[in-house]
Structure 1
Amino acid sequence: MATGKSEGVTIVIKKEEGGAGGHHGGAWKVAYADFVTAMMAFFLLMWLLNATTEEQRRGLADHFNPTNVMGQRPSGSGQPFGGRTPNEAGQMASNASSVRAETGPRPVVFDLEEDDSNTPASAVERREGPRGDDETATPARLRAERATGGTDGAGAEGTGGPEVARASAEALREELEKREREVLDRLAEQVRAAVRDDPALADLARQLQVEQVPEGLRIQILDAERQPMFALGGSAPAERGRALLTKVAAVINRVPNAVAISGHTDATPFRPGARSNWDLSAERANATRRLLVEGGVAEARVRSVAGLAEREPLLADDPGSPANRRVSILLLRENTRNAAP
């Protein structure tokens, strides 16, 4: 402040003590607090990852990523909860923690019985064809489409027609028949070995005939000169015949095939007024059935028991041969076109 009495100018400097002037220079504290919070969250995440199992982490991911079966794809991204990182190729989505419903081709079903002649009218369907025209969908056509996976009978390409379905069914049938032949071949060898390896029955191996026929595996037990399997003129099995049938029963128990039993005699007739070869052959077949059941073969597996007398001789040129006196055990095939009706 200047005075009027002096020639010079007097300069007075006044300093004022300032109070709280606001938050000048404190912004770094906010940034530091954010950093500390982020580090605490990071270390907490690391601890959780180390303290939980993979199954628990998957459960947490599923909890925060609910399944939507109607959606195109599940949501969620980023590790470790099943998502993908930005460094990976592909979309930022994952299917590791949720279920995705997708459509696919119908399963292949082969129906080996294709009989259209007896198809009732109610089994015929009408539907719109691929070009908008109506076509009749018979059961055979539907089976062909199921077998090939398309409406035109040729899978995804839709070409080929019912011929492809029939060819596929035929190939499947042939494969099943091939496998069954192999099983029956092994079974035949097991029957021969069971008799051959038994010292008490080894000499009866020549009276055992095992072969595959169109109907299945046929096991025949033959009489021989001075070695009958049954008492002469009777239906009671001899001791060695009983032992042989017991061995056969033990082997055929290894497969589930149905069994047909038939008895046969030679051409020697009975005296007039006595019983006939029909009676004798039927009685021996039934005695064989009883022995097989006693050996463990289920009664339900027996398809038929028949006596054929001398009508089907094994040696047609020698109708009186002992070999014509025999019992036949037939294991029927399960998959074949050639089986007897």
Structure 2
Amino acid sequence: MSIPRKTALALALPCALVAAAHAAADLPVHTLDNGSVRATVTDAIGGRLLSFALAGHSNFLKVDTAAGDASAAVDATADNVGWLGHEIWVGPQKEWWSHQDVNPARAGAPWPPDPYLSLARYKVEDKSADAVTLASPASPVNGLQLVKRYSLVPGKPHSLRLDVDAANVRKAQVAWDIWFNTRAHAATRVYVPVARRADVRQQAIEPKPDMQPLTWTLADGLFSLDAFPAGAGKPHRNGKILLQPAAGWMAGFHDRQVLVIQFAHQPRTAIHPDQGQVELYNDWQPDAPDKGLMEMEVHAPYEKLAPGRHMQASELWTLLPYDGPDTRRAHVAFLRAHAKELGLNGL
């Protein structure tokens, strides 16, 4: 007997939700909640941040807890798994597999990310109601061990602090930067303070018949990617922009929330020339907006580390409610109205 299509869809949706919930339940989760914001972190799959949201709001991050098997063995042959959320990479990307001998077949490859830092189980070093500290295994791919600390901020009930320490565990010098990669929904509107056109670099995309490059606006000291409507028949847009910001912050608007990410502003000379201090990757699929992606990325200074030496970097995240129009003009006005209280320079 065949099942009517509407009935089949009605049955399929609960099953899909149950499957997703089961996948999420397989991940150990540490929750930080002060009543104003709520964050969840897992010590599995690279010690990543899975969610961050205002009370009563949806997850600002894009995450897929059913992307793979969190208990799968991790070694130098592992491929990337699209768990998304927030994770830490190291830069420059072109050297990811250039300083290792554990997988000669990947020598010089720019992909995938280091599986020991992105996929492995981290050790819980410390945990309290408002903070969790996680330590990665020592990576034979890039010679680093990461310690991540996620903490709610006293006196700032809408904020979360992300601290990272990277230690050289090799007997020889290594050179890397700490790279924060925050995955958000494709329709997120992101603003970055940028002083001039020369501080914007656009990477070329792989030419495909159905894909067009991103376009952008730089006006009133703020950079933003242009927004395009959803709908069938509109072009797929994809690309990456490398930015030298004029101040240490960026802000993303999505689904009645604004995520402000603050970081230590660096001169361009401190950032590896192949990277930007801020990078925005956007994959916009107008016929399937939920399948796309926005990445809000920040690079710390590129440093040479002697054996046993450490480098650190941090971000301060703040979530604010937003009920205004989804326009550049309204977004910029909102940011200017909150610039003083948040300490947003460059506006």
TM-score (norm 1): 0.20
TM-score (norm 2): 0.20
- Larger helix fraction of residues: 1
Larger radius of gyration: 1
Higher relative contact order (CA 8 A, sep 6+): 2
